[in-house]
Structure 1
Amino acid sequence: MELLGTTTVFLLVCISCMLLFATWRSMSQNQKLPPGPTAIPIVGNILQLNPWNLPQSLKKLSEKYGPVFTVHLGPQKVVVLYGYDVVKEALIDQADDFSGRGVLPLLKRFFRGTGIVTSNGETWRQLRRFTLTTLRDFGMGKKGIEERIQEEAQFLVERIRNTQEQPFNPSNFLIHAVSNIICSIVFGDRFDYEDKKFLTLIELLEENNKYQNSLQIQVCMYNFLPTIMDFLPGPHQKMIQNIGKVDEFISEIIKEHQKTLDPTYPRDFIDAFLNKMEQEKRNAHSHFTIEALSRSTIDLFLAGTGTTSNTLIYGLLILQKYPEIAEKVQKEIDSVIGRDRSPCMADRSQMPYTDAVIHEIQRFIDFLPFNVPHAVIRDTKFRDYFIPKDTMIFPMLTSVLHDSKEFPNPEKFDPGHFLNANGTFKKSDYFMPFSAGKRVCAGEGLARMEIFLFLTAILQNFTLKPVLDCKDIDIFPVATTLANIPQPYKVSFLPR
């Protein structure tokens, strides 16, 4: 009996050990993190990356570690998704898991974790839902906003005409025109091109772009090592001050709206938000606060100005490089629209070549190569890996827009990437410059409309005459970090 008891205990111990081992092995497999280069304490993998071209550095790492890998940007762990399949799988197939916003320290200083772009959880859900509804109420995607863009396009054309064929940098003209569209939705009115406050506001945005372009190492270092950089002087401090001035500008407009608000007749996004605040004033946990209004307004203003204006600025540079492409677009404009009326959105379906050129501009410039950082909202199993809750995610849009299987010779500008053999427009699932899934850009429809209407209006009225010989025009970005910005240039606009 004693021997039997000892044997039983031994068997139970063995079974327990086997179960424990199986459980440990299962947990170990489930906790398998994506691979990546060995990180150095404090600095992580910074010394292994090129701050002037981070996408290229991450591309090389993907070739070694696969489409899902981990890098450490200072103490911050980031999971990188490289390639269409993994980006689609994360942002669309597992959209809810990857719907968080991973906030870089510099963005956190700018937006304080509230507003539409950088918030998370219920705050983000409520603000995004409200914003989409309100933007639609004020005409986004409807005939009203199309007419507003057409009107602004004519102001832009007249302003260009007044340059009398002299070469100039068109950036400010394009930024002013694009900005006025979002201003009319958010603030209730456009600004005159000579308005001093408006010009100051645009100058602040332009200054921040220059800092990002010319001093990217310091800006990158802030995102990697914010605790140290907070105590050091540099361009990051000036950028933060500039955003503070933008905040002051918008706060003044909000105060004016509070004084003149008629709840029965909201004029714009700010009025609608103030009405929502009044409705929820007895809700101690309301997400609709003055700070949320200020941040959301800045989000809409910056996003509604920067992305579209840079696409147009970059597009005009590319068309100088390839005058034969610009000429084909102009022939299609003359055939479908003529010279006597403004372009409208109904024309686009009859203009496959122009549509292909616009898509190719967006694909080629790859404006946000990293996407805006995401985060997983819960512990997530992705393929064979475990990604802990709140891990920052870089779904690399550059790896999708420059996929060589979908777009042969992706580094070459070629409208044929979006044309069938018979000349009709060819759609592509790989075309996601506005991201995809639950965090897709809220203003995508507005941006598409603006790019088409502004670009066709310009080419309907002018031929581009570059200062340099076509072969000497550099269409690659100044440098690549969070955004791809074109080289500064001058061009003459010759009336047609």
Structure 2
Amino acid sequence: MLTEILLIILSAILSCWFYLNECKRPKKYPPGPSWIPFIGNGPELRQLAKQCGGQHLAFSALASKFDTEVVGLKLGKENVICVCSYDTVKQVLTSQQYQGRPDNFFMRLRSFGLRKGITGVDGELWKEQRAFLVSHLRALGFGRSAMEEMIKEEIKDILNLIENSKEGIDLSATVSPSVVNILWKLTSGKSIKNNNDITKLLDLLKQRSKAFDMSGGFLNHYPWLRHLAPQKTGYSLLQTINNQIRQFIMEAVNEHKSQWTEGRSDDFIYSFLGEMKKQNYYDNSNFTDDQLIIVCLDILIAGSTTTNHTIDFAFLAMILYPEIQAKVHKCLDTEFKKDEDINYNDKQRVPYIEAVLLECQRMFAVVPMVGPRRVLSETSLSEFIIPKDTTVLINLHSVHHDKDYWKDPEIFKPERFLDADTQLICSDRILTFGLGKRRCLGDALAKSCIFLFFVEILRRYRIESSEKLTGKQVPGITMSPEKYKAKFVARF
């Protein structure tokens, strides 16, 4: 009897200790809401995000409420902080201590259950694979004139579509295939010319983004829910989408394997297969089928959606602000002859247009929350101590809409990027493509696409819409504009 009583008392003491330990914030941890033991702040954050219109706005609200640049939470069993100011964002993006990626359920789910690829890994695997990708994409013309020629070919197709269309055009559905084709041509050597195939791929990528936004964070912190409610949590849908995307990439890989010959490297897949053959005798080689498939996925995801939405927002801004569109037309007419070939380097000749595109990236941040980081060892941030393996979320939206710096961030004003002589002011506060070692790999392609698509279409057309547009952003892993159709009126 005494033994049973002692066991009950001991169990009660241990339960209280575990409970209190779960409630306890780490020493000098950033301020934030108190959390529920074993659950954390997940349900509260989810509800706040719904009220505010997105997770990035929820974190900004918490930063304001607790008067802090760094918000500290717990999501499930995971320590999570969110940085919400330029100084803290810059420190996280550039400091070695924050170069890790979380190894959690969400990150593995996006990579078919594996810790492979480039986007979702860190350490030696990341260094090796990133260096290989950069080297071989450059050899294929990435960031050079060959890439610009690919972009111009896609622009020709879009211009033909506009010229032959008598109805309004869904720009998102028009631009998306072009950007994906450029990426896929660098990756596999081929454009996706079959409309059904490219529509299916784009639809899968779009569904995947929505599904991850709907369930990814929740499943990450409470992964056991997938066993209880696979349909309601979105887990079954994600698995189905992942399998279809994997199949699409695997078909291209198998086709390359059947046609591979020694020394062939005319696209990224052939280059990777060649390295696989070289390292065939190494048991611990990172050059495997799984790694190749996930790197291909990383390329598609990293470049297609973000670039497409940025271009989409730029054209939407021209509809919303016709007086700015008129200035863009005047700038193009003054600087370029009617049939002059425009290259990306010509951007220096039109600082006003550069300012317009920078303002689009500031106002309509396509990626309001940058990919999460992992703290590699205990470190300090501002006046706080951040424990090892803490997940760090980066609120880019808070930097691009900082009232103290921009004064009137809610107003679309390209002139904020121009000096008294109408020359471009290069602002280090526009962090669309990140900073530091993990800076976006595809920024050269994205910047070229955005500039060339914008100027080539606007030099020929005035863009209008009969719809009542508000500029409202649709939240998700990436922000997209409200659906609209644009009417293109020939200028000449």
TM-score with structure 1 length normalisation?
A: 0.87
In 2: Cα distance, 1:226 partner to 1:51 partner: 20
Instruction: Name the amino acid aligned to 1:37.
Output: P
Instruction: Name the amino acid aligned to 1:477.
Output: Q
The answer to whether 1:484 aligns with 2:486 is no
In 2: Cα distance, 1:359 partner to 1:342 partner: 23
Which residue is equivalent to 1:57?
58
The answer to whether the 8 A contact 1:97-1:378 is kept is yes
In 2: Cα distance, 1:230 partner to 1:428 partner: 48
**What is the DSSP-based 3-state SS (H/G/I as helix, E as strand, rest coil) of the residue aligned with 2:80?**
strand
Which residue is equivalent to 2:447?
448
The answer to whether 1:228 aligns with 2:225 is yes
In 2: Cα distance, 1:395 partner to 1:185 partner: 30
Is 180-189 or 63-72 further displaced after alignment?
63-72
**What is the DSSP-based 3-state SS (H/G/I as helix, E as strand, rest coil) of the residue aligned with 1:69?**
strand
Unmatched 5+ stretches in structure 1:
1-28
In 2: Cα distance, 1:209 partner to 1:466 partner: 27
Q: In the superposition, relative to structure 1, how do residues 262 and 339 fare at CA in structure 2: closer, same or farther (>3 Å)?
A: farther
In 2: Cα distance, 1:105 partner to 1:464 partner: 44
In 2: Cα distance, 1:423 partner to 1:452 partner: 19
Instruction: Name the amino acid aligned to 1:475.
Output: G
Which residue is equivalent to 2:115?
113
The answer to whether the 8 A contact 2:462-2:490 is kept is yes
CA displacement at 1:230 relative to structure 2: 4.8
Which residue is equivalent to 1:22?
none
CA displacement at 1:103 relative to structure 2: 5.5
Which residue is equivalent to 1:137?
139
In 2: Cα distance, 1:341 partner to 1:434 partner: 30
The answer to whether the 8 A contact 2:59-2:71 is kept is no
**What pairs with 1:161-240 in structure 2 (closer than 5 Å)?**
161-164=163-166, 166-192=167-193, 194-209=194-209, 211=211, 218-232=215-229, 233-234=231-232, 235-240=234-239
CA displacement at 1:217 relative to structure 2: 5.0
Q: For 2:128, which of 115, 126, 129 is the aligned residue?
A: 126
Q: For 1:78, which of 77, 80, 97 is the aligned residue?
A: 80
CA displacement at 1:104 relative to structure 2: 6.1
CA displacement at 1:47 relative to structure 2: 3.8
In 2: Cα distance, 1:228 partner to 1:175 partner: 34
In 1: Cα distance, 2:238 partner to 2:44 partner: 26
In 1: Cα distance, 2:294 partner to 2:440 partner: 16
**What pairs with 1:29-108 in structure 2 (closer than 5 Å)?**
31-49=27-45, 50-52=48-50, 53-63=54-64, 64-92=66-94, 95-102=95-102, 105-108=105-108
Q: In the superposition, relative to structure 1, how do residues 209 and 285 fare at CA in structure 2: closer, same or farther (>3 Å)?
A: closer
Which residue is equivalent to 1:3?
none
The answer to whether 1:493 aligns with 2:470 is no
CA displacement at 1:36 relative to structure 2: 2.2
**What is the DSSP-based 3-state SS (H/G/I as helix, E as strand, rest coil) of the residue aligned with 2:81?**
strand
In 1: Cα distance, 2:67 partner to 2:283 partner: 48
TM-score with structure 2 length normalisation?
A: 0.88
**What pairs with 1:362-377 in structure 2 (closer than 5 Å)?**
362-377=361-376
Which residue is equivalent to 1:19?
none
Q: In the superposition, relative to structure 1, how do residues 230 and 465 fare at CA in structure 2: closer, same or farther (>3 Å)?
A: farther
User: Size of the alignment, in residue pairs?
Assistant: 458
The answer to whether the 8 A contact 1:141-1:445 is kept is yes
Q: Deviations over 1:248-297 (max 9, x none)?
A: 00001001101111332311011111111112112211111110100000
Instruction: Name the amino acid aligned to 2:490.
Output: P
In 2: Cα distance, 1:488 partner to 1:363 partner: 20
The answer to whether the 8 A contact 1:36-1:65 is kept is no
Which residue is equivalent to 2:393?
394
Instruction: Name the amino acid aligned to 1:456.
Output: V
**What is the DSSP-based 3-state SS (H/G/I as helix, E as strand, rest coil) of the residue aligned with 1:70?**
strand
**What pairs with 1:275-294 in structure 2 (closer than 5 Å)?**
275-294=274-293
**What is the DSSP-based 3-state SS (H/G/I as helix, E as strand, rest coil) of the residue aligned with 2:292?**
helix
In 2: Cα distance, 1:254 partner to 1:30 partner: 47
CA displacement at 1:404 relative to structure 2: 2.1
**What is the DSSP-based 3-state SS (H/G/I as helix, E as strand, rest coil) of the residue aligned with 1:202?**
helix
CA displacement at 1:343 relative to structure 2: 2.3
**What is the DSSP-based 3-state SS (H/G/I as helix, E as strand, rest coil) of the residue aligned with 1:79?**
strand
Which residue is equivalent to 2:7?
none
In 1: Cα distance, 2:136 partner to 2:27 partner: 43
The answer to whether the 8 A contact 1:167-1:467 is kept is no
In 2: Cα distance, 1:378 partner to 1:220 partner: 24
Which residue is equivalent to 2:17?
none
In 1: Cα distance, 2:324 partner to 2:268 partner: 39
In 1: Cα distance, 2:423 partner to 2:414 partner: 12
CA displacement at 1:176 relative to structure 2: 0.5
Identical pairs, percent: 29
The answer to whether the 8 A contact 2:88-2:381 is kept is no
Q: In the superposition, relative to structure 1, how do residues 241 and 141 fare at CA in structure 2: closer, same or farther (>3 Å)?
A: same
Unmatched 5+ stretches in structure 2:
1-24
The answer to whether the 8 A contact 1:336-1:347 is kept is no
Instruction: Name the amino acid aligned to 2:44.
Output: Q
In 2: Cα distance, 1:150 partner to 1:370 partner: 31
Is 168-177 or 383-392 further displaced after alignment?
383-392
CA displacement at 1:76 relative to structure 2: 2.5
**What is the DSSP-based 3-state SS (H/G/I as helix, E as strand, rest coil) of the residue aligned with 1:393?**
strand
In 2: Cα distance, 1:30 partner to 1:197 partner: 50
The answer to whether the 8 A contact 1:342-1:457 is kept is no
CA displacement at 1:88 relative to structure 2: 1.3
Q: In the superposition, relative to structure 1, how do residues 210 and 474 fare at CA in structure 2: closer, same or farther (>3 Å)?
A: farther
Q: In the superposition, relative to structure 1, how do residues 308 and 86 fare at CA in structure 2: closer, same or farther (>3 Å)?
A: same
The answer to whether the 8 A contact 1:110-1:240 is kept is no
Instruction: Name the amino acid aligned to 1:341.
Output: E
